[in-house]
Protein backbone atom coordinates (compact mmCIF):
# COMPACT_ATOMS: atom_id res chain seq x y z
CA UNK A 1 0.00 0.00 0.00
CA UNK A 2 1.43 3.38 -0.90
CA UNK A 3 0.56 7.03 -0.61
CA UNK A 4 -2.03 8.47 -2.92
CA UNK A 5 -0.35 11.82 -2.71
CA UNK A 6 3.23 10.73 -3.08
CA UNK A 7 3.87 7.14 -4.12
CA UNK A 8 0.71 5.34 -5.15
CA UNK A 9 1.25 3.22 -8.25
CA UNK A 10 -1.51 4.79 -10.30
CA UNK A 11 -1.67 7.46 -13.00
CA UNK A 12 -3.66 9.83 -10.76
CA UNK A 13 -2.22 13.30 -10.32
CA UNK A 14 -1.46 14.44 -6.80
CA UNK A 15 -4.38 16.35 -5.29
CA UNK A 16 -4.11 20.10 -5.37
CA UNK A 17 -2.94 21.68 -2.18
CA UNK A 18 -5.94 22.69 -0.06
CA UNK A 19 -6.41 26.35 0.79
CA UNK A 20 -4.43 27.59 3.75
CA UNK A 21 -5.82 27.94 7.22
CA UNK A 22 -7.87 30.99 8.06
CA UNK A 23 -7.72 32.53 11.52
CA UNK A 24 -11.32 31.65 12.30
CA UNK A 25 -10.91 27.93 11.56
CA UNK A 26 -10.56 25.56 14.52
CA UNK A 27 -8.52 22.34 14.10
CA UNK A 28 -11.72 20.30 13.77
CA UNK A 29 -12.85 22.47 10.83
CA UNK A 30 -9.64 22.15 8.84
CA UNK A 31 -9.56 19.82 5.83
CA UNK A 32 -7.85 16.52 6.62
CA UNK A 33 -6.35 13.51 4.90
CA UNK A 34 -5.94 10.02 6.35
CA UNK A 35 -2.45 8.95 7.36
CA UNK A 36 -2.04 5.15 7.46
CA UNK A 37 0.58 3.61 9.77
CA UNK A 38 -0.03 -0.13 9.54
CA UNK A 39 -2.41 -2.95 8.67
CA UNK A 40 -3.47 -5.80 10.95
CA UNK A 41 -6.45 -8.10 11.42
CA UNK A 42 -7.81 -6.59 14.60
CA UNK A 43 -6.19 -4.15 17.00
CA UNK A 44 -7.42 -3.21 20.45
CA UNK A 45 -7.89 0.58 20.33
CA UNK A 46 -6.68 0.72 23.93
CA UNK A 47 -3.18 -0.19 22.68
CA UNK A 48 -3.14 3.08 20.71
CA UNK A 49 -4.61 5.33 23.39
CA UNK A 50 -2.50 8.35 24.21
CA UNK A 51 -0.20 8.09 21.19
CA UNK A 52 0.28 11.53 19.61
CA UNK A 53 1.01 10.13 16.16
CA UNK A 54 1.90 12.70 13.52
CA UNK A 55 -0.67 15.33 14.47
CA UNK A 56 -1.98 15.41 18.02
CA UNK A 57 -5.07 17.35 16.91
CA UNK A 58 -6.73 13.98 16.22
CA UNK A 59 -6.33 10.57 17.89
CA UNK A 60 -4.66 7.54 16.38
CA UNK A 61 -7.52 5.13 15.60
CA UNK A 62 -8.45 1.92 13.82
CA UNK A 63 -10.37 1.61 10.57
CA UNK A 64 -11.96 -1.74 9.69
CA UNK A 65 -12.31 -3.05 6.15
CA UNK A 66 -13.53 -6.65 5.97
CA UNK A 67 -11.02 -8.96 7.68
CA UNK A 68 -8.40 -6.20 7.85
CA UNK A 69 -7.91 -3.16 10.06
CA UNK A 70 -5.82 -0.11 9.26
CA UNK A 71 -4.20 1.96 11.98
CA UNK A 72 -4.76 5.56 10.89
CA UNK A 73 -4.92 9.17 11.95
CA UNK A 74 -6.56 12.27 10.52
CA UNK A 75 -3.87 14.85 9.74
CA UNK A 76 -4.03 18.36 8.34
CA UNK A 77 -4.33 18.39 4.56
CA UNK A 78 -2.42 21.68 4.58
CA UNK A 79 0.47 20.45 6.71
CA UNK A 80 0.74 17.18 4.76
CA UNK A 81 0.26 18.55 1.26
CA UNK A 82 3.01 17.66 -1.17
CA UNK A 83 5.00 20.89 -0.87
CA UNK A 84 4.61 21.10 2.90
CA UNK A 85 5.64 17.48 3.37
CA UNK A 86 8.66 17.90 1.13
CA UNK A 87 9.76 20.90 3.18
CA UNK A 88 9.17 18.97 6.41
CA UNK A 89 11.38 16.12 5.22
CA UNK A 90 14.27 18.53 4.66
CA UNK A 91 14.14 19.65 8.31
CA UNK A 92 16.28 17.13 10.17
CA UNK A 93 14.63 17.64 13.55
CA UNK A 94 11.11 17.48 12.13
CA UNK A 95 11.95 14.42 10.05
CA UNK A 96 13.28 12.65 13.14
CA UNK A 97 10.17 13.59 15.14
CA UNK A 98 7.84 12.29 12.43
CA UNK A 99 9.82 9.09 11.90
CA UNK A 100 9.81 8.37 15.64
CA UNK A 101 6.07 9.01 15.85
CA UNK A 102 5.44 6.71 12.88
CA UNK A 103 7.59 3.99 14.47
CA UNK A 104 5.97 4.40 17.89
CA UNK A 105 2.49 3.75 16.49
CA UNK A 106 3.62 0.71 14.52
CA UNK A 107 5.40 -0.79 17.53
CA UNK A 108 2.33 -0.21 19.74
CA UNK A 109 0.14 -2.09 17.27
CA UNK A 110 2.66 -4.88 16.70
CA UNK A 111 2.94 -5.42 20.46
CA UNK A 112 -0.64 -6.72 20.55
CA UNK A 113 -1.22 -8.22 17.09
CA UNK A 114 0.66 -9.26 13.93
CA UNK A 115 1.16 -6.06 11.94
CA UNK A 116 2.27 -5.04 8.46
CA UNK A 117 4.11 -1.71 8.75
CA UNK A 118 3.38 0.81 6.01
CA UNK A 119 5.96 3.21 4.58
CA UNK A 120 6.40 6.61 6.15
CA UNK A 121 4.02 9.24 4.67
CA UNK A 122 1.38 6.81 3.40
CA UNK A 123 -1.52 9.22 2.84
CA UNK A 124 -5.06 8.87 1.47
CA UNK A 125 -7.71 11.40 0.66
CA UNK A 126 -10.09 9.83 3.19
CA UNK A 127 -11.23 6.68 4.96
CA UNK A 128 -13.08 5.39 1.90
CA UNK A 129 -9.84 5.36 -0.09
CA UNK A 130 -8.08 3.48 2.71
CA UNK A 131 -10.80 0.82 2.73
CA UNK A 132 -10.62 0.53 -1.06
CA UNK A 133 -6.84 0.02 -0.88
CA UNK A 134 -7.23 -2.67 1.79
CA UNK A 135 -9.83 -4.51 -0.29
CA UNK A 136 -7.58 -4.33 -3.36
CA UNK A 137 -4.58 -5.76 -1.48
CA UNK A 138 -6.54 -7.98 0.90
CA UNK A 139 -5.00 -11.26 -0.22
CA UNK A 140 -1.40 -10.04 0.02
CA UNK A 141 -1.99 -8.39 3.40
CA UNK A 142 -3.56 -11.54 4.82
CA UNK A 143 -0.64 -13.61 3.50
CA UNK A 144 1.85 -11.22 5.12
CA UNK A 145 0.00 -11.29 8.43
CA UNK A 146 0.11 -15.07 8.33
CA UNK A 147 3.90 -14.97 7.83
CA UNK A 148 4.36 -12.50 10.66
CA UNK A 149 2.23 -14.33 13.22
CA UNK A 150 4.45 -15.14 16.20
CA UNK A 151 7.52 -13.65 14.52
CA UNK A 152 9.56 -10.48 14.87
CA UNK A 153 12.39 -8.78 13.03
CA UNK A 154 15.90 -8.63 14.44
CA UNK A 155 18.73 -6.54 13.03
CA UNK A 156 22.34 -7.71 13.03
CA UNK A 157 25.23 -5.39 12.20
CA UNK A 158 28.83 -6.53 11.91
CA UNK A 159 31.78 -4.14 11.89
CA UNK A 160 35.51 -4.61 11.57
CA UNK A 161 37.13 -4.57 14.97
CA UNK A 162 39.66 -1.72 15.30
CA UNK A 163 42.98 -2.83 13.88
CA UNK A 164 45.96 -2.84 16.24
CA UNK A 165 47.82 0.49 16.04
CA UNK A 166 50.76 0.47 13.72
CA UNK A 167 53.46 3.13 13.58
CA UNK A 168 53.82 4.88 10.27
CA UNK A 169 56.98 3.86 8.46
CA UNK A 170 59.55 6.64 8.52
CA UNK A 171 60.62 7.73 5.05
CA UNK A 172 64.25 7.17 4.19
CA UNK A 173 66.54 9.96 5.29
CA UNK A 174 68.54 11.92 2.81
CA UNK A 175 71.87 10.64 1.62
CA UNK A 176 74.59 11.82 3.94
CA UNK A 177 77.89 12.95 2.48
CA UNK A 178 80.15 10.01 1.80
CA UNK A 179 77.29 7.39 1.88
CA UNK A 180 77.30 5.11 -1.13
CA UNK A 181 74.25 5.42 -3.46
CA UNK A 182 73.55 1.70 -3.02
CA UNK A 183 72.99 2.20 0.71
CA UNK A 184 70.46 4.98 0.02
CA UNK A 185 68.65 2.72 -2.45
CA UNK A 186 68.52 -0.02 0.17
CA UNK A 187 66.92 2.38 2.65
CA UNK A 188 64.28 3.30 0.05
CA UNK A 189 63.44 -0.33 -0.68
CA UNK A 190 63.10 -1.03 3.04
CA UNK A 191 60.70 1.91 3.38
CA UNK A 192 58.55 0.68 0.47
CA UNK A 193 58.54 -2.82 1.96
CA UNK A 194 57.23 -1.42 5.23
CA UNK A 195 54.48 0.52 3.42
CA UNK A 196 53.52 -2.57 1.41
CA UNK A 197 53.43 -4.65 4.58
CA UNK A 198 51.04 -2.19 6.25
CA UNK A 199 48.71 -2.34 3.23
CA UNK A 200 48.76 -6.13 3.33
CA UNK A 201 47.92 -6.16 7.04
CA UNK A 202 44.93 -3.84 6.45
CA UNK A 203 43.70 -5.95 3.53
CA UNK A 204 44.01 -9.13 5.58
CA UNK A 205 42.15 -7.48 8.45
CA UNK A 206 39.32 -6.52 6.08
CA UNK A 207 39.19 -9.97 4.49
CA UNK A 208 39.06 -11.63 7.90
CA UNK A 209 36.14 -9.35 8.85
CA UNK A 210 34.23 -10.13 5.64
CA UNK A 211 34.64 -13.87 6.16
CA UNK A 212 33.56 -13.53 9.80
CA UNK A 213 30.48 -11.57 8.69
CA UNK A 214 29.50 -14.38 6.34
CA UNK A 215 29.79 -16.88 9.19
CA UNK A 216 27.62 -14.67 11.42
CA UNK A 217 25.02 -14.36 8.67
CA UNK A 218 24.98 -18.13 8.13
CA UNK A 219 24.36 -18.81 11.83
CA UNK A 220 21.55 -16.26 12.21
CA UNK A 221 20.01 -17.21 8.87
CA UNK A 222 19.81 -20.76 10.21
CA UNK A 223 17.53 -19.50 12.97
CA UNK A 224 15.37 -17.33 10.72
CA UNK A 225 12.40 -17.96 8.45
CA UNK A 226 13.50 -15.10 6.14
CA UNK A 227 16.52 -12.84 5.82
CA UNK A 228 17.42 -9.70 3.94
CA UNK A 229 20.75 -7.98 3.35
CA UNK A 230 20.58 -4.20 3.68
CA UNK A 231 22.99 -1.54 2.50
CA UNK A 232 25.92 -1.12 4.91
CA UNK A 233 26.41 2.30 6.49
CA UNK A 234 29.22 4.56 5.37
CA UNK A 235 31.88 6.25 7.48
CA UNK A 236 29.56 9.21 8.09
CA UNK A 237 27.54 6.87 10.34
CA UNK A 238 30.13 4.37 11.59
CA UNK A 239 33.08 6.72 11.96
CA UNK A 240 36.51 6.23 10.45
CA UNK A 241 37.67 3.74 13.08
CA UNK A 242 35.60 0.82 11.78
CA UNK A 243 33.93 -0.46 8.60
CA UNK A 244 30.38 -1.80 8.34
CA UNK A 245 30.65 -5.22 6.69
CA UNK A 246 27.17 -6.71 7.34
CA UNK A 247 23.80 -5.04 7.75
CA UNK A 248 21.04 -7.63 7.75
CA UNK A 249 17.48 -8.17 8.95
CA UNK A 250 16.06 -11.53 9.98
CA UNK A 251 12.47 -12.65 10.54
CA UNK A 252 12.61 -15.04 13.51
CA UNK A 253 10.05 -16.86 15.63
CA UNK A 254 9.59 -14.95 18.89
CA UNK A 255 10.17 -18.14 20.85
CA UNK A 256 13.76 -18.33 19.54
CA UNK A 257 14.97 -15.05 21.09
CA UNK A 258 17.09 -16.72 23.77
CA UNK A 259 18.57 -19.06 21.15
CA UNK A 260 19.46 -16.07 18.97
CA UNK A 261 21.12 -14.20 21.83
CA UNK A 262 23.10 -17.25 22.88
CA UNK A 263 24.31 -17.84 19.32
CA UNK A 264 25.51 -14.26 19.00
CA UNK A 265 27.29 -14.40 22.36
CA UNK A 266 29.18 -17.47 21.14
CA UNK A 267 30.00 -15.73 17.86
CA UNK A 268 31.35 -12.69 19.71
CA UNK A 269 33.81 -14.94 21.53
CA UNK A 270 34.85 -16.78 18.36
CA UNK A 271 34.93 -13.98 15.79
CA UNK A 272 37.52 -11.61 17.23
CA UNK A 273 38.04 -9.84 13.90
CA UNK A 274 34.62 -8.18 14.14
CA UNK A 275 32.19 -6.41 16.43
CA UNK A 276 28.62 -7.79 16.37
CA UNK A 277 25.56 -5.72 17.28
CA UNK A 278 21.99 -6.96 17.72
CA UNK A 279 18.92 -4.72 17.64
CA UNK A 280 15.24 -5.50 18.09
CA UNK A 281 12.80 -7.00 18.33
CA UNK A 282 11.08 -4.83 15.73
CA UNK A 283 7.92 -4.96 13.72
CA UNK A 284 8.80 -6.69 10.42
CA UNK A 285 9.66 -3.54 8.46
CA UNK A 286 12.14 -5.26 6.15
CA UNK A 287 9.65 -7.96 5.13
CA UNK A 288 6.51 -5.88 4.69
CA UNK A 289 6.70 -5.92 0.90
CA UNK A 290 5.97 -9.64 0.61
CA UNK A 291 7.88 -12.90 0.43
CA UNK A 292 10.14 -11.58 -2.34
CA UNK A 293 11.50 -9.09 0.17
CA UNK A 294 13.21 -11.87 2.09
CA UNK A 295 14.81 -15.19 1.46
CA UNK A 296 12.29 -17.85 2.53
CA UNK A 297 13.58 -21.11 3.92
| Tens digits of residue pLDDT in 53-107 | 998 889 999 999 999 999 999 999 998 888 888 888 889 999 999 999 999 999 9
Question: According to the model, what pLDDT value does residue 48 have?
Answer: 95
> 163-202 burial string, b = 16+ CB within 10 Å, else e?
beeeeeeeebeeeeeeeeeeeeeebeeeeeeeeeeeeeee
| Tens digits of residue pLDDT in 23-39 | 454 445 579 999 999 99
Average pLDDT across the chain, whole number: 81
Q: CA–CA separation, 284 vs 148, rounded Å?
A: 7
Amino acid sequence: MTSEQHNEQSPQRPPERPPGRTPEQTPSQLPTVTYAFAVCRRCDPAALAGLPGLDDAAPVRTLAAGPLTAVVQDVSAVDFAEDALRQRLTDRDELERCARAHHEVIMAASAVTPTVPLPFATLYLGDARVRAALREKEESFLAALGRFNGRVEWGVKVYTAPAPPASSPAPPSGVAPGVAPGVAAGNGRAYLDRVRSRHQVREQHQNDALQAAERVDAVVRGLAVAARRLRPHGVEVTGAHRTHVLNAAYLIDSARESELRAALEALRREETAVQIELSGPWAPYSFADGPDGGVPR
